[in-house]
């Protein structure tokens, strides 16, 4: 082997190494609690294919890191504490069960006063609209695209004070409601909202509770939602890059003031967006 050939091999190896490092995916923070994320190592498939796994009958995101296959599992706020399991299906049809434990987490309670009483107790016409819209929102959050996500950590969609954290037990005008399924970031009306990571717009609309909204699919069951917008700058089918402006902060829908409600859904489970933020790692 000549000296020149050795040099060429060294250069090629360096390029391959740098390529691998540049494309190594950074995982979200792991927090195996209701509303959190569990990262579970899967068995390598003998056929050499990407493993398939399910949790609560829903497909899971599977990524490769350091020669390991990992399932990135969103845990719903309604998950029971204690042992949970995911199922891996091999190319040969064999099912492998992987078990993990879900620990308790005490979320605080937040009391809010809503001046528009119909946003707390909708009338019959409102309910017709709400039922119709719920189907669209549910479909968007459960959307599955086989393509892998380009990244699993995000930049913040808007700078501002976190006025309501994920998981808060909400009480509107003295009436208990479902836990808060996103992160509220207070900012002046009209503040630009940027895309935290590349993705495809799969839904936009004006909804009774959510107001002007945008839903972005990042791949393999990772969906982000942006709610209460003043204006929407994108449309369904748009391919967005990290940093693109998708709309502006507003106070549409059920709100007490201008802010962005930012939600993250993984395998159709609403999870804490803070686990995906780069500056929180």
Q: Return the residue matching tokens 């959307």.
A: 143
C-alpha to C-alpha distance for 47 and 57, rounded to whole angstroms: 23
Point out the residues of the chain with pLDDT beneath 50: 4-23
Q: Give the tens place of pLDDT for each residue, 11-64.
A: 343 333 333 333 468 999 999 999 999 999 999 876 678 899 999 999 999 999
What confidence score (pLDDT) does residue 22 get? 36
DSSP result, 177-202: -PPP-SEEEE--TT-EEE-SS-EEEE
Contact at 8 Å (CB) between 179 and 107?
A: yes
Q: What are the structure tokens assigned to 219, written together?
A: 């791949």
Q: Give the tens place of pLDDT for each residue, 97-112.
A: 999 999 988 776 666 6
Q: Return the residue matching tokens 């796994």.
A: 53
The reply to whether CATH 3.40.50.150 applies to domain 28-102 is no
228 Rama class: left (phi>0) / alpha (psi -120 to 50) / beta:
left
Please, which residues have CB within 8 angstroms of residue 74's CB and are 6 or more apart in sequence? Answer: 37, 221, 265, 266, 267, 268, 269, 270, 271
Report the topology of domain 115-280: Glucose Permease (Domain IIA) (2.70.70)
What confidence score (pLDDT) does residue 115 get? 67
- For the whole model, what pTM was predicted? 0.84
Q: Return the residue matching tokens 């504490």.
A: 81
What confidence score (pLDDT) does residue 248 get? 98
The full set of domain ranges for the chain reads 28-102, 115-280
Q: What are the structure tokens assigned to 182, written together?
A: 């996103």
Longest dimension (CA), the chain: 83
How far, in whole angstroms, is CA 200 from its chain's centroid?
Answer: 13
Q: 3-state DSSP call for residue 222?
A: strand
Q: How big is the CA angle at 144 (ends 143 and 146), to the nearest 5 degrees?
A: 160
């Amino acid at each position: 082997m000549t000296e020149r050939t050795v040099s060429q091999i060294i250069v090629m190896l360096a390029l391959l190494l740098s390529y691998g490092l540049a494309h190594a995916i950074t995982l979200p923070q792991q927090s195996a609690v209701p509303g959190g994320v569990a990262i579970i190592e899967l068995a390598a498939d003998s056929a050499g294919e990407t493993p398939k796994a399910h949790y609560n009958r829903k497909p899971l995101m599977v990524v490769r890191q350091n020669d390991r296959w990992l399932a990135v599992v969103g845990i719903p706020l309604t998950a029971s504490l204690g042992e949970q399991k995911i199922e891996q299906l091999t190319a040969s049809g064999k099912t492998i069960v992987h078990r993990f434990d879900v620990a308790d987490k005490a979320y605080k309670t937040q009391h809010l006063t809503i001046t528009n009483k119909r946003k707390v107790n909708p009338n019959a016409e409102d309910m017709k609209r709400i039922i119709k819209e719920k189907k669209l929102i549910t479909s968007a959050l459960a959307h599955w695209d086989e393509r892998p996500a380009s990244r699993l950590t995000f930049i913040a969609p808007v700078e501002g004070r976190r006025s309501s954290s994920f998981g808060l037990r909400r009480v509107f005008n003295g009436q208990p409601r479902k836990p808060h399924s996103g992160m509220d970031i207070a900012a002046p009306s009209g503040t630009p909202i940027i895309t935290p990571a590349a993705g495809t717009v799969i839904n936009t609309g004006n909804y009774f509770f959510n107001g002007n909204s945008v839903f972005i699919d990042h791949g393999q069951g990772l969906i982000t939602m942006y709610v209460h917008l003043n204006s929407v700058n994108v449309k369904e089918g748009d391919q967005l890059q990290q940093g693109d402006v998708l709309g502006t902060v507003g106070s549409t829908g059920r709100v007490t003031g201008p802010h962005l409600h930012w939600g993250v859904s993984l395998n159709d489970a609403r999870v804490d967006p803070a686990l995906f933020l780069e500056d929180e790692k």
